[in-house]
Amino acid sequence: MIIQPAKRTESVKEYYFSIKNREIARLDAGRKSRGEDPVINLGIGSPDGMPPAAALETLTASAVQPGVHGYQSYTGIPELRQAFAGWYARYYGVTLDPTCEIQPLTGSKEGILLISLTFLNAGDKVLVPDPGYPTYTSASQMTEAEIVKYDLVAERGWQPDFEALEAMDLTGVKLMWTNYPGMPTGAHATEDLYERLVAFGRRHGILIVNDNPYSFIRNDRPLSILAAPGARECCLEMNSLSKAHNMAGWRLGMVAGEADYIREILKVKSQMDSGIFRPLQLAAVEALRQGPEWFEALNAEYRRRAEVAYRIMDALGAAYDPGSAGLFVWGRLPSALPSESAEGKTAGERMSDRILYEAGVFITPGFIFGRNGEDYVRISLCAPVPVLEKALAKIRNLPSVRLEPVEKQ
């Protein structure tokens, strides 16, 4: 390069799964040359099911119509904002004004960066969960904000320790990321949790941003932080069609909140793109109209998959919560397996590497989500039951990972 990258790039690394997927591609090339099966990838949470039929029909029908291929409104078509509002009213009991309290996004991951750019200045502090989605940290770092980790641990049900938060020096803290049902932990939200988060945000003048894409997955009672009294004053919530409607590659999400917050986010977003392809928006409207039977069928399949994932965790001797929600099963490796090896790798990373290189199965090491995930591994449920069963058989054939099961959390 004839110039140096911006200093902000020094604070972040390439996304873990971007690096790992390249490694798996290299391994697959070698496996193919030896006549072996490709690696079974149980890492990232990319749903493998089909979107609602009505969404597909609308996409194909509208894409061939004249006049739909130009730039679109920065705020999304009215039908989409109304559909998001109807979705929130029907399933979360939250009333949103579709004219000013909803901003469609090209996936909620975009929203993390947009919100960070909108509200954070260099030197502002951000509360980030540990373990938690790595993008909360990287997006904050790219705005030159200071990361302040708050611990989530199994003993507290992966919920914040509010006494510990209150005891912290909160000077300069401007924003707090939360995520329930949690990724990677699968911890459920409760009304009490959301009410305490709202009270905390109002008391300290902190914007609480709740990331809520997993609320329908293996969960019969979706909740929104915006239903908590006083939430509009201090909360934003992001949501997505990626998980709940098998539309991850479509990149369709939203952020909801009080109109002044949404107006500020739009200032930034309108500099970054020129709207979402209209047929995608029309298809999303149909997806959001799905009734409870859609989610019942979706969850019946994920629960079948989870039963096999539990057996994989048992084969690893890992403790897990069979009552967790979301697209993943999160398991703690036995204490007999040291947290660090001579190579400096965590227990989760060593187990992940061993299974990948010896069995041709990839599961995610928990260290990528923070220090509190170092002894954990995560299994994605985005693979059919036969694939999960094949992965289980491969792992069981490895004597080095035949550990005695431990009690479930």
Give the count of domains, the chain. 2
Task: Say whether both 140 and 278 belong to one domain.
Answer: yes
In a domain, 215, yes or no: yes
In a domain, 407, yes or no: no
Task: Say whether both 25 and 79 belong to one domain.
Answer: no
- Chosen domain end from 290, 316, 349: 290
Q: Which amino acid, 322?
A: P
What is the distance between the alpha carbons of residues 315 and 391, in angstroms, rounded to a whole number? 11
- The Cα-based distances of 2 to 5, 6, 10, 363 in angstroms read 10, 13, 17, 39
In a domain, 389, yes or no: yes
In a domain, 63, yes or no: no
CATH of the domain at 384: 3.90.1150.10
Task: Say whether both 285 and 301 belong to one domain.
Answer: no
Rg for the chain (alpha carbons), in Å? Answer: 22
253-257 and 319-320: which strand pairing? unpaired
In a domain, 54, yes or no: no
Task: Say whether both 174 and 286 belong to one domain.
Answer: yes
Q: Which stretch of DSSP H or E encloses residue 277?
A: none
pLDDT tens figures, 365-389: 999 999 999 999 999 999 999 999 9
Task: Say whether both 232 and 333 belong to one domain.
Answer: no
CATH of the domain at 235: 3.40.640.10
Task: Say whether both 270 and 298 belong to one domain.
Answer: no
In a domain, 57, yes or no: no
Domain interval for residue 101: 70-290
Task: Say whether both 173 and 208 belong to one domain.
Answer: yes
Is the pLDDT at 402 greater than 60? The verdict is: no
- Chosen domain end from 241, 267, 290: 290
In a domain, 237, yes or no: yes
Task: Say whether both 22 and 141 belong to one domain.
Answer: no
Task: Say whether both 319 and 237 belong to one domain.
Answer: no
Query: Could you write out the DSSP letters of every residue in 368-391?
Result: GG-GGGTTEEEEE--S-HHHHHHH
Task: Say whether both 397 and 303 belong to one domain.
Answer: yes
In a domain, 171, yes or no: yes
Q: How many CB atoms lie within 10 A of CB 205?
A: 11
- Chosen domain end from 272, 290, 308: 290
pTM of the full structure: 0.93
399 exposed, middle or buried (CB, 10 Å; 0-12, 13-18, 19+)?
exposed
Residues 226, 64 contacting (CB under 8 angstroms): no
Task: Say whether both 246 and 98 belong to one domain.
Answer: yes
Q: Which of 205-219, 277-291, 387-401 has the lowest mean pLDDT?
A: 387-401
Task: Say whether both 228 and 359 belong to one domain.
Answer: no
Higher pLDDT residue, 16 or 78?
78
pLDDT tens figures, 127-147: 999 999 999 999 999 999 999
pLDDT tens figures, 142-197: 999 999 999 999 999 999 999 999 999 999 999 999 999 999 999 999 999 999 99
- DSSP alpha helix (H) spans, 75-175: 78-92, 108-119, 134-142, 162-167
What is the distance between the alpha carbons of residues 189 and 178, in angstroms, rounded to a whole number? 10
Is the pLDDT at 403 greater than 60? The verdict is: no
